[in-house]
Structure 1
Amino acid sequence: MLNKRRVVITGAAGSLGQAAAAKAREYGAHVTGLDIADTGQLDNVDAYYSVDLLDPAATRECFAKLGRVDALFNIAGGFAMGDTAFDPDSDQWQRMFQINVDTLRNATMAAVPLLQKNDRGAIVNIGALGALQGQGSMSAYCCAKGSVMKLTESLSDELRADNINVNAVLPSIIDTEANRQGMPDADFSTWVTPSGLAEVMCFLASPQAGEIHGALIPVRGRA
């Protein structure tokens, strides 16, 4: 499905990043992982670069080293909740927009010129099912992921003529160790598995999804 395609994954050191890298390689891709962690060689990737995606210049410099790019998975991001929308002392607003929106924009700005050199390309973003509407004590996260989803639609409209399809997956709760620790009484069997979400992302990056543009695809897990 991704035979010999060069896939770049941001947030590659995280649970979803590792699952996406493993799945993409399973489908024949050459995977480059990007993350801020200085881990040396990372599992499930063919090449790894430590880069601060909040630094636009550093991000462009990193992508310039990659040569060909066929697909970008914008996985870098994070979650926070608990503060109200009217809390003057909260730093969640700035932080959620930095790690979810600014990282995506910087990686995308660096990747698009490389994608435009190819016959086709793909960008897959991570929205959030829970951000389709505002929720109490989650305003910063919901607004940031809402921006990711609107950016996905805008980028799709801008890049469709270049045969670059831009889409986003909207997972519910992803079954990670951090989420299990944070919600120990939940029914984990209903959550989205990282591997299952990665499967959808790989399809969206494949030639088979070449006619899908600007889709926001809910991934709800098992009932």
Structure 2
Amino acid sequence: MLDSHRIVITGAAGTLGQAAAEKARASGAYVIGLDIVDTDSVPNTDEYYQLNLMDRDATKARFDTFGSIDALFNIAGGFTMGDTAFDPTSEQWDKLFALNVNTMRNATMAAVPLLTRKPKSAIVNIGAMGALKGIGTMSAYCCSKGSVMKLTESLSDELRESGVNVNAVLPSVIDTAPNRESMPDADFSKWVSPAQLAEVICFLASPAASGIHGALLPVRGLS
């Protein structure tokens, strides 16, 4: 499905990043992983680089070393909740916009000049089912992921004529160890697995999805 594709994955050291890298490599891709985690290697990546994606200049400098690429998976991000939208002491707004929006924008700005060198290429972003509406004590997360989704649509409108397909997946609750720990009484079998989500991400980067532009695709499992 992704034979000979060069794919950059941000957040490659996380659970979803590793699942996406595993599926991409199994589909024939060469995987370049990026994350803030300081480690020599990350499973299922062919190259791995520690990088603070909130640093725009450092991000551009790293991407400039890659030459042409075929796809960017913007998986880096974060989640937290508990503060109200009117709490003047909350730091969640700045934190989640930095993690979810700024990392995506910086990686995208650095990647687009490389992606447009190919006749067909792709960007896949991570939105959220929960951000389709505002939820109490989750305003920072909902607004940041909502921005990711609107940026996906705007980028698609800007780039599709250049051969770059831009889409996003919208997971519900992902079946990860931290989520299980924070919600021990939930029915985990209804959550979407990282492997299921990785399948859809890789599909959107493949030639089979060449006609899909600006989609916000729910991937919710049975929840």
TM-score range, shorter chain: over 0.9
- Provide the residue aligned with 2:184 in structure 1: 184
Looking at structure 1, the residues matched to 205 and 126 of structure 2 have their Cα atoms a distance apart, in angstroms, of 13
- Provide the residue aligned with 2:195 in structure 1: 195
- Provide the residue aligned with 2:36 in structure 1: 36
- Provide the residue aligned with 2:123 in structure 1: 123
CA deviation map 1:155-185 (0-9, x unaligned): 0000010010000000000000010111111
Q: Does 1:111 align with 2:111?
A: yes
DSSP 3-state at the match of 1:48: strand
Looking at structure 1, the residues matched to 69 and 87 of structure 2 have their Cα atoms a distance apart, in angstroms, of 42
TM (normalized to structure 2)? 0.99
Looking at structure 2, the residues matched to 149 and 158 of structure 1 have their Cα atoms a distance apart, in angstroms, of 14
Looking at structure 2, the residues matched to 99 and 39 of structure 1 have their Cα atoms a distance apart, in angstroms, of 20
Looking at structure 1, the residues matched to 194 and 222 of structure 2 have their Cα atoms a distance apart, in angstroms, of 13
Letter in 1 for 2:8: V
- Provide the residue aligned with 2:162 in structure 1: 162
Looking at structure 2, the residues matched to 86 and 41 of structure 1 have their Cα atoms a distance apart, in angstroms, of 42
DSSP 3-state at the match of 1:212: coil
Looking at structure 1, the residues matched to 92 and 41 of structure 2 have their Cα atoms a distance apart, in angstroms, of 31
DSSP 3-state at the match of 1:90: coil
Looking at structure 1, the residues matched to 171 and 42 of structure 2 have their Cα atoms a distance apart, in angstroms, of 25
DSSP 3-state at the match of 2:199: helix
Letter in 2 for 1:95: K
Looking at structure 2, the residues matched to 67 and 142 of structure 1 have their Cα atoms a distance apart, in angstroms, of 35
Looking at structure 2, the residues matched to 61 and 45 of structure 1 have their Cα atoms a distance apart, in angstroms, of 20
- Provide the residue aligned with 2:8 in structure 1: 8
CA deviation map 1:167-222 (0-9, x unaligned): 00000000000101111110000001000000000000001101100000001113
Unaligned runs of 5+ in 2: none
Letter in 2 for 1:198: A
Unaligned runs of 5+ in 1: none
Looking at structure 1, the residues matched to 42 and 126 of structure 2 have their Cα atoms a distance apart, in angstroms, of 21
Alignment of 1:6-155 (within 5 A): 6-155=6-155
Offset, 1:67: 1.2
Looking at structure 1, the residues matched to 222 and 44 of structure 2 have their Cα atoms a distance apart, in angstroms, of 26
CA deviation map 1:84-141 (0-9, x unaligned): 0000000000001000000000000000000011111100000000000000000000
Offset, 1:68: 1.8
TM (normalized to structure 1)? 0.99
Looking at structure 2, the residues matched to 39 and 178 of structure 1 have their Cα atoms a distance apart, in angstroms, of 21
DSSP 3-state at the match of 1:60: helix
Q: Which runs of 4+ in 1 moved over 3 A?
A: none
DSSP 3-state at the match of 1:81: coil
Looking at structure 2, the residues matched to 43 and 220 of structure 1 have their Cα atoms a distance apart, in angstroms, of 26
Letter in 2 for 1:214: G
Over the aligned positions, Cα root-mean-square deviation in angstroms equals 0.6
